[in-house]
Amino acid sequence: MARKLIFFTLFVIAGLTAFSQAKKPIIMVVPSDNWCIKNEYTQMYDEMGTQKTLPDYKMALQNETDLLMTIGKINTMMADRGFPLVNLESALKNLEQEGAEIAMLGSKSGGGIAESPIDILQRTANADIIIQLTYVINQTGPQRSITFMLQGLDAYTNKQIAGAQGTGEPSFATETPVLLEEAVLAHIDDFNSRLQDHFDDLFENGREIVFQTRIWDTGMIDFEEEFNYKGETLELGEIIEDWVYDNTVQGRYNTSNYTENVIRFDQVRIPLYDDRGRANDTRRWIRDLRSMIGGTPFNQECKIYTRGLGEVWLIVGEK
């Protein structure tokens, strides 16, 4: 009986240890687009001829001490609960130091695809989840309260996976971070639980991305070109589609567009880690396909474009 009790105790301890070591998503907290626009911290970005308004995080952090301290408070609350963090201010500085703010890439012959500054930030920071923060300070006589909203977004798809909102009790406290902590405490654990549930789903079912493959307009072939590959005669597009099936979790993807020049795959579920245990991303995932098309019998050069974290393009025909 004593031996059984000891065995059971060791089993429980081992289970608790494994649970405590469960991997958590990497998080980055940013002010929401709504907050930045209302407070006039924006920048204009030309996306292939269309002007887009984007948040200017750098100017917001440099000019709003309350914002900097409030984000710092959320970072602390998340870190206290075991979530690894990417600090927004540090990520922005790294972008400047590395020159990663250059948002236009091109082929050797001059073709190009634009990537916005926000896409570049998210790709460089490499967070799993972006938490967008919106808050408003309410003044009632000498007392202040805060109305807040937290939105947890999958960094690869921008889909909302968790949310929390509310208004704190009126307080004589003057510091915005203190007001926020008091208001958020009642919601933070449920919010974090939803974040963790989403990340656990990524472990089981893979990370969702978008994959497009295209033909350069200078290319000599298209996706209807037939090749004898592994004993079958198939169109290049069909061979690529077979590769996607073989390299997704449980073959999960959706072919949303298929023409002789463009194939688009949505809801593509790629493994969270590669076979060497390294964190997977769109570029690492697509490299084997580039190598395959570069070899016999295709012998086609390809260029990889990443658009933010969650979308990758493979352009066939040249680099």
Tens of pLDDT, residues 76-101: 999 999 999 999 999 888 877 665 43
Choices 3.30.160, 1.10.1790, 3.90.320, 3.40.50: CATH for 25-203: 3.40.50
In 57-175, alpha helices (H):
57-63, 65-80, 88-98, 117-125
Q: Model confidence over 273-309: pLDDT tens digits?
A: 888 888 889 999 999 999 999 999 999 999 998 887 8
When the pLDDT of each residue in the chain is averaged and rounded to a whole number, the result is 86
Distance CA 313, CA 283 (A): 9
pTM: 0.78
Judge whether 75 and 85 are in contact, CB under 8 Å.
Answer: yes
The set of residues, in sequence order, having a beta carbon less than 8 Å from that of 234 and lying 6+ positions away, is 226, 227, 242
From residue 104, give the alpha-carbon distance in Å to each of 46, 101, 306, 316: 11, 9, 11, 19
What was the pLDDT predicted at 159? Answer: 93
In sequence order, what DSSP letters do the residues of 32-79 get, joined into one string?
-HHHHHHTT-EEEEEETTEEEEEE-HHHHHHH-HHHHHHHHHHHHHHH
